[in-house]
A and B are shown apart, each in its own frame.
Chain A
Amino acid sequence: MATLSATADSNPFSAIASIHPAMVDPADADGLSVPTIMLASGDEPADDVKKFEEHLKVAKHVEIFKDQIHGWMAARSDLKDEKVKKEYERGYKTVVEFFGKNL
């Protein structure tokens, strides 16, 4: 969703964040002209994430949280697990820092 709105002709956003996205398409990265951060889980195909990062021509931060599941920063997150909780918080902090540096 974030990449779709940011690549549209009239993009109101100054930076975007993609959190454990479904269907990573490296071609989407070509149309991005704003700072982009993508945090992928171990469930997203690492190759697609790598290719997406290579296609990004803007300020970027792409990180794979290999030991986390798709959904670890949202509804599927098991915050009772200390490790998940730590990575959940680290994920959000990483987004805030990226926005702080790039907005």
Chain B
Amino acid sequence: MTGPKNATKAIVVVYDIFGYFDQTLQGADILAHSDDNQKYKVYMPDWFKGKPCPIEM
């Protein structure tokens, strides 16, 4: 979860089969902080509960 405490809007991220990856986590940060007029809380639950698809596939 990222984004400032006083954000009034939220974004829920459903990521791809590879799960938590740096580029995806960074993307969530960009979403949370990019808009000067509106900050968002970004929720990125662990949909795969710790077992995503390995990127080597």
Contact = CB atoms under 8 A, between A and B. Distances in A.
Given A1-B14, A99-B11, A103-B9, A74 B27 contact: yes
Contact of B16 (A74, A89, A92, A96): A74
Nearest to A71: B16
Contacts of B34: 92-93, 96
Contacts of B43: none
B24 A74 contact: yes
Interface of B: 9, 11-12, 14-16, 18-19, 21, 23-24, 26-27, 30-31, 34-35, 37-38, 40, 55
A73 B27 contact: yes
A75 B40 contact: no
Nearest to B16: A74
A92 B30 contact: yes
Contacts of A89: 30
A92 B27 contact: yes
Given A100-B37, A103-B9, A75 B30 contact: no
Contact of A74 (B23, B35, B37, B38): B23
Contacts of A1: 14
B38 A88 contact: no
Contacts of A27: none
Interface string A60-96: 0000000000010111110100000000110011011
